[in-house]
Amino acid sequence: MPLPPAITLLRTAAWLICGIYATIPAYWIVVHGWARQWREARHKLKVLAPIWMLMWLAAWAVSAPWRSQTLYERPATWMVAPLLWAVSATLYLRGGRELSLMRVVGRDELEPAHRPPQLITTGAHALVRHPLYLGHICSMLGLCLATRNSACYTLFLFALLSGYWMVKLEERELSARFGQAWVAYKATTPCILPRRMGRRTLPRA
């Protein structure tokens, strides 16, 4: 039986969004892994933007064979999705106060004179060390649960695996850059998941 057009549209939109989210760690690795070379390049941001878009196309192309497949038959899982999206929206709003769009896309790393490096420990960063990545995970998992789509779950798995290496590389970079300040922050703040989600609330920046 063919799916209703609204369901088909929802699954397609979720698949496209997951394709973008899934490439964020890979894009970060491309920017930070070769930061020295990118700093010397002309029009670096104009070059990196198409590279990221090519990553989207690659993610969509690889996952396309599973775009019409449903991983399991439990529609009730969609009820968890709004909760995950609410968590991700809160993290984006609180984390976005400290991390501007230009910092997220890598401009501050590639043009250090534009804004001196700063260790952010307030707002959502007082809850976990990588709040935006936690927000990405919640967003993608919400889309997976809402659609039960095999392609979305494939992209989610890729985001987790590449995100693991992104976090390792980023923490090594932050340790080298901020020294003891980073060591002290790391000792008191968990990486991705809050230690006491039931007791601790987001501090005000």
Which of 177, 191, 160, 195 has the alpha carbon at shortest distance from 26? 160
Which helix (H) or strand (E) element contains residue 137? Answer: helix 131-147
Helix (H, G, I), strand (E, B) or coil at 36: helix
Over residues 115-130, the mean pLDDT reads: 84
Which of 25, 32, 29, 205 has the alpha carbon at shortest distance from 125? 205
- For the segment 34-92, what is each residue's pLDDT rounded down to a tens digit? 777 777 777 776 788 899 999 999 999 999 999 989 888 877 788 899 999 999 999 88
- For the segment 153-175, what is each residue's pLDDT rounded down to a tens digit? 999 999 999 999 999 998 998 89
Which of 179, 88, 180 has the alpha carbon at shortest distance from 134? 88
Which of 167, 162, 137 has the alpha carbon at shortest distance from 55? 162
Helix (H, G, I), strand (E, B) or coil at 149: strand
